[in-house]
A and B are shown apart, each in its own frame.
Chain A
Amino acid sequence: MTTQELGLDITELRLGLPGGGGRGERNDKKRVFFDIFSTGGEVDHFSANSGGKNRNIDMAVGWPPVCSYRKRAMIKMYVKVSMDGAPFLRKIDINGFKDYSDFVMALGNLFGLIGDECEYTPIYEDKDGDWMLVGDVPWEMFTETCKRLRMKKRVNDGGLQTKT
């Protein structure tokens, strides 16, 4: 994936497996906000040769070994969601969802972003304090590392500002 393709993909809010995947060109830009998560693609998160001592503990999927049924049923993971331009924040329970598509739908509903409103990109702050694009890591890993969310307004020039 070249840098240029990467840039284009971000502008068009399309994510999938490296090297393509996804559903091809779509003329209907209005639904693009939800397209990210409807391809169901999961970007690889394992690095080669990672066994043993130097793994970042925060990134260990499935640790501690609490089965996913129990996690979903038991833990309420309410995180704050801010939206650029909105006067107050909302909270959403990440653990109430099974995958990205349900979750993004609910995020959209929180702020009344349905249909035509595709100006926002969801980003989240992870355990390291970095702001990340929602959708890169497997869903379970996302629920374990997301601390807060922000609906970032897309800028007219098509790029993403990196200011936190």
Chain B
Amino acid sequence: MASSFPEEVLEHVFSFLISQKDRNAVSLVCRSWYEMERWCRKRIFVGNCYAVNPRVMSRRFPEVRAVYLKGKPHFADFNLVPDGWGGYVYPWIVEIARVYPWLEEIRLKRMVVSDECLEMIGKSFRSFKVLVLKACEGFSTDGLAAIAANCRNLRVLDLRECEVEELSGHWLSHFPDSFTSLECLNMACLSSEVSFSALERLVARSPNLKTLRLNRTIPLEKLSTLLQQAQQVVDFGAGSYSAEIRSDVYSSLADAFSRCKNLKSLSGFWDVTPAYLPAIFSVCSQLTSLNLSYATTQSPDLTKIVGQCYNLQRLVVLDYIEDTGLSTVSMTCKDLRELVVFPSDPYVADANVLLTEQGLVSVSQGCPKLHSVLYFCRRMSNSALISISQNRPNLTCFRLCIIEPRVPDYLTLEPLDAGFGSIVKNCKQLTRLSMSGLLTDRVFEYIGTHAKNLDMLSIAFAGDSDLGLHHVLSGCDNLRKLEIRDCPFGDKALLANASKLERMRSLWMSACFVSFGACKLLGQKMPGLNVEVIDERANVNSIPDYAPVEKVYIYRTVSGPRFDMPDFVRIMGKDKDGVNNLS
């Protein structure tokens, strides 16, 4: 059948397939489809940079234009992965530079990127257009200067939440005067000053600039200057939104905002002077995305803003919004899809803001399209969770963080098993779940039984025994990422479900009861897994096999053990040469 269907037709059909999942499925149909698909795959996604080595990618896919790589596990965001663990992008850049001279896009998440890597990117790819670095580290403003100087066709430079060594603010000046193709510049994560005149000139000569996210050092007084040069902007991040109250500054700012007819997304707003907030009122009804999570603005001012955002789809705020503000959201923002509420003061036991479970319940009642939630609060009840699940069975992502660990239902003092159980029972499309509060093994039974679409699960300070972990590993058919901290889960559940681990991307367990011996056994039994024990204790070599490890990170891989590990990381159960790898 394959020979009667012209290749060109199949290739044309395949060109409509964008999702990696679809392309992977297509490549499994038969040998000739595999061959055809690999020749025309342009975009590569590697969810764990250690699951495969760069040569495997370059040998299979010769025509790649865009690469997206992820490095460290998610818990690295909370400082649980020690410095030096790994996630170096260097070997990937070397291979990509060698094989894909026409590469256009590189996206990296939680990777270590050196200046040398950035220099290599600048020099190796003539058509390079997009660089997105999210939560990356290891580079300085010198590396950024190399990108600016060399990437003549750059469209996107997006630095999200990166740790950058800031040697100078003049990297921006390295964009040549002839450079006019910029569409997106996100430098919000830089904490030191950049040359404002260079920035202004860059904005003025970038007619396609749609996204401009400034950093905190750009003062409010200068915003109107920039906005006037970039009235076409769609996504704008203000810098520090604070200044002496002056009517001329206010009116030019309000005027500048009102001219931005395409503005749909606002963010930034550090250090807010409330008197300047009304300057954005004219654009509120246009906004689909609003991130005020760095603004220490109080509830009345926040409420006045969200009360005008009729078209809002995404809202990110601090708990300063309080239940009253969220009630306004529930009445006004009927198109809301995603709600994120961060804590203003996470290390204080008692709430100093009036944000409770009620805020979330009201939004779940009033916003029919709400499907994604990340919510930090200090109390919760089973009845609230049950209401939320009944109001919003369309939830796909539900992440609840009750600030103090192991806190029960504040009304009944019972565990929150029933509440989260209701979430997984009613929300059949749930793909991501993070839980907190007092939870017993029972909640894991509910999850294993009902959460059949769950892709990622985060657990902390929960459960009673290995049975909890066993329910999850044996029941959640689509689970790919599981991260666990401070739970009494140990060897039995892990070893009994060893084969499941090969059908997942990764499992993280820290401060649990998994022993050295079990890790060794798992590593020996499962050649397709790297079982990394991360343990910084000085006496780690003399710890007996039955004692628990500090942290273990288990992931599937086709490339065997890695060789760039620091001394506190050991891959268990493999001999010195490791499993035979494919390079």
In the complex, which residue of chain B has the Cβ closest to the Cβ of A58?
A: B347
Q: How far is the CB of B571 from chain A (nearest CB, A)?
A: 20
Cα distance, A49 to B546, chains bound together (Å):
10
A50 an interface residue at 8 Å Cβ cutoff? yes
In the complex, which residue of chain B has the Cβ closest to the Cβ of A52?
A: B488
A115 an interface residue at 8 Å Cβ cutoff? no
| Residues of B with C-beta under 8 A to A144 | 347
Cα distance, A48 to B537, chains bound together (Å):
9
A86 an interface residue at 8 Å Cβ cutoff? no
B270 an interface residue at 8 Å Cβ cutoff? yes
Q: Are B486 and A55 within 8 A (Cβ)?
A: yes
Q: Beyond A61-B79, A62-B80, is A50–B511 a contact (Cβ under 8 Å)?
A: yes
In the complex, which residue of chain B has the Cβ closest to the Cβ of A140?
A: B79
> A23-66: contact bitstring with B at CB < 8 Å (1 yes, 0 no)?
00000000000000000001010101111110101001111111
Q: Beyond A17-B538, A44-B536, A144-B347, is A57–B405 a contact (Cβ under 8 Å)?
A: yes
Which of B259-267, B338-346, B354-362, B556-564 makes up part of the contact surface? Answer: B338-346
Cα distance, A71 to B538, chains bound together (Å):
29
B550 an interface residue at 8 Å Cβ cutoff? yes
| Residues of A with C-beta under 8 A to B543 | 48
Most buried by B among A57, A63, A65, A73: A65
Q: Are B77 and A68 within 8 A (Cβ)?
A: yes
B14 an interface residue at 8 Å Cβ cutoff? no
> A61-82: contact bitstring with B at CB < 8 Å (1 yes, 0 no)?
1111111111101110000000
A18 an interface residue at 8 Å Cβ cutoff? yes
| Residues of A with C-beta under 8 A to B460 | 63, 65
| Residues of A with C-beta under 8 A to B538 | 17-19, 44
| Interface class of chain B by DSSP | loop
| Residues of B with C-beta under 8 A to A17 | 538
Q: Are A67 and B293 within 8 A (Cβ)?
A: no
Q: How far is the CB of B394 from chain A (nearest CB, A)?
A: 25
Cα distance, A117 to B537, chains bound together (Å):
35
Q: Which positions 308-356 of chain B face chain A at CB distance < 8 Å? A: 318, 342-347
Q: Are B161 and A69 within 8 A (Cβ)?
A: yes
In the complex, which residue of chain B has the Cβ closest to the Cβ of A139?
A: B79
Q: How far is the CB of A34 from chain B (nearest CB, A)?
A: 20
Other-chain contact of B77, A44, A53, A64, A65 (Cβ < 8 Å): A65
Q: Which positions 119-160 of chain B face chain A at CB distance < 8 Å? A: 135
B548 an interface residue at 8 Å Cβ cutoff? yes
Q: How many residues of B contact A (CB 8 A)?
A: 42
In the complex, which residue of chain A has the Cβ closest to the Cβ of B543?
A: A48
Q: Are B294 and A67 within 8 A (Cβ)?
A: no
Q: How far is the CB of A84 from chain B (nearest CB, A)?
A: 28
Q: Are A73 and B294 within 8 A (Cβ)?
A: yes
B403 an interface residue at 8 Å Cβ cutoff? yes
Q: How many residues of A contact B (CB 8 A)?
A: 33
Q: How far is the CB of A60 from chain B (nearest CB, A)?
A: 7
Other-chain contact of B78, A55, A68, A73 (Cβ < 8 Å): A68
Other-chain contact of A52, B75, B189, B404, B486 (Cβ < 8 Å): B486
Q: How far is the CB of B570 from chain A (nearest CB, A)?
A: 16
| Residues of B with C-beta under 8 A to A68 | 77-79
Other-chain contact of A51, B163, B344, B345, B487 (Cβ < 8 Å): B487
Cα distance, A57 to B486, chains bound together (Å):
11
Q: Are A62 and B189 within 8 A (Cβ)?
A: no
> B530-551: contact bitstring with A at CB < 8 Å (1 yes, 0 no)?
0000001110000100011010
Cα distance, A66 to B344, chains bound together (Å):
10
| Residues of B with C-beta under 8 A to A140 | 79
Q: Are B488 and A62 within 8 A (Cβ)?
A: no
| Residues of A with C-beta under 8 A to B550 | 46
B182 an interface residue at 8 Å Cβ cutoff? no
In the complex, which residue of chain A has the Cβ closest to the Cβ of B81?
A: A62
Q: Are A51 and B488 within 8 A (Cβ)?
A: yes
In the complex, which residue of chain A has the Cβ closest to the Cβ of B538?
A: A18
Other-chain contact of B547, A49, A55, A62 (Cβ < 8 Å): A49
Q: Are A51 and B376 within 8 A (Cβ)?
A: no
Q: Are B404 and A57 within 8 A (Cβ)?
A: yes
Other-chain contact of A62, B75, B161, B270, B512 (Cβ < 8 Å): B75
| Residues of A with C-beta under 8 A to B77 | 65, 67-69
Q: Are B512 and A52 within 8 A (Cβ)?
A: yes
Q: Are B78 and A63 within 8 A (Cβ)?
A: yes
Q: How far is the CB of A37 from chain B (nearest CB, A)?
A: 15
In the complex, which residue of chain A has the Cβ closest to the Cβ of B535?
A: A46
Cα distance, A61 to B216, chains bound together (Å):
28
> B12-48: contact bitstring with A at CB < 8 Å (1 yes, 0 no)?
0000000000000000000000000000000000000
List 28 interface pairs A-B (beta carbons < 8 Å), by A numbering. A17-B538, A44-B537, A46-B536, A46-B537, A48-B537, A49-B548, A51-B488, A52-B487, A52-B511, A55-B461, A55-B486, A62-B75, A62-B78, A63-B405, A64-B346, A64-B401, A66-B376, A67-B161, A68-B77, A68-B78, A69-B163, A70-B161, A73-B216, A73-B270, A74-B294, A74-B318, A74-B342, A75-B344
Q: Which 10 A-B pairs have the closest CB atoms?
A: A62-B78, A52-B488, A67-B77, A69-B161, A51-B512, A51-B511, A140-B79, A64-B346, A62-B79, A65-B78
